[in-house]
A and B are shown apart, each in its own frame.
Chain A
Amino acid sequence: DAKTTQPNSMESNEEEPVHLPCNHSTISGTDYIHWYRQLPSQGPEYVIHGLTSNVNNRMASLAIAEDRKSSTLILHRATLRDAAVYYCILRGTSGRGSTLGRLYFGRGTQLTVWP
């Protein structure tokens, strides 16, 4: 399994930026970095993904270190609705093995947003 390491929990105040870190020192050259979040009593929701370059979409930004051994999910202005568990996941897209293409969900980071 391609492993990622995230803090168990983080807190933020509403309207402030949030930087959620993820370490993935064993990443391979063909692994994509995916972020999902899971709100209470819901299935996980795709947030963003990238390979080497930083990525932006309507939900968040993804900053990827030059050596790709770490990444940071950036929520530019946290809202109460952003309170969720955030998962950083590596997705393999080449190589061999029946585990190709699977997503491995760790424990993620529980984000608390204070009003």
Chain B
Amino acid sequence: GAGVSQSPSNKVTEKGKDVELRCDPISGHTALYWYRQSLGQGLEFLIYFQGNSAPDKSGLPSDRFSAERTGGSVSTLTIQRTQQEDSAVYLCASSLGFLSRDGYTFGSGTRLTVV
């Protein structure tokens, strides 16, 4: 596609429920990144993929968070047993490669609200 697509754009969920956030990167981009941004804060790195593998999972805040990428394309970020502190905008980005000197292209994000 022309850009990075994320869905849903907004998600309101009840505390304790599981949620899945989807990211569809730019075609041909092998590297995919997940960040989150809490209200008024900077971006916090979560995880990145090179192809289907995730060499760096160090940013996931707890074992309730997981992510997968299949076919070197679409990625899903899953948050189990959501908590109120999980409320944030979850941003996905892609680039040609994780060592690429080129920039990232970000999606518009999924705004997650846990009530």
Contacts and interface: CB of A to CB of B under 8 A. Distances in A.
Interface of A: 32, 34, 36, 42-46, 49, 51, 91, 93-94, 98-108
Contact of B55 (A43, A44, A93, A98): A98
Interface residues on B, range: 20 to 34
A36 B103 contact: yes
Contacts of A49: 101-103
B104 A103 contact: yes
Q: DSSP majority for the A interface?
A: loop
B105 A46 contact: yes
Interface of B: 4, 31, 33, 35, 42-43, 45, 48, 55-56, 58, 91, 93, 98-109
B91 A44 contact: yes
Contacts of B58: 98-99
